[in-house]
Chain A
Amino acid sequence: DQQVKQNSPSLSVQEGRISILNCDYTNSMFDYFLWYKKYPAEGPTFLISISSIKDKNEDGRFTVFLNKSAKHLSLHIVPSQPGDSAVYFCAANAGGTSYGKLTFGQGTILTVHP
Chain B
Amino acid sequence: GAVVSQHPSWVICKSGTSVKIECRSLDFQATTMFWYRQFPKQSLMLMATSNEGSKATYEQGVEKDKFLINHASLTLSTLTVTSAHPEDSSFYICSAGDRLNTEAFFGQGTRLTVV
Contacts and interface: CB of A to CB of B under 8 A. Distances in A.
B104 interface: yes
A104 B93 CA distance: 13
Contacts of B105: 46
Interface stretch (A14-22, A65-73, A92-100): A92-100
Contacts of B97: 98-99
B102 A98 contact: yes
A49 B108 CA distance: 20
**What does DSSP make chain B's interface, helix, strand, loop or mixed?**
strand
A106 B42 CA distance: 5
Contacts of B106: 36, 43-46
Given A99-B97, A101-B49, A44 B102 contact: no
A36 B105 CA distance: 11
B102 A97 contact: yes
A105 B102 CA distance: 20
B101 interface: yes
Interface size class of A (residues with CB under 8 A): 20 to 34
Interface in A73-98: 89, 97-98
Interface in B46-104: 46, 49, 91, 93, 95, 97-99, 101-104
A59 interface: no
Given A42-B109, A45-B106, A46-B1, A101 B46 contact: yes
B6 interface: yes
Interface of A: 2, 4, 9, 36, 41-46, 49, 89, 97-107
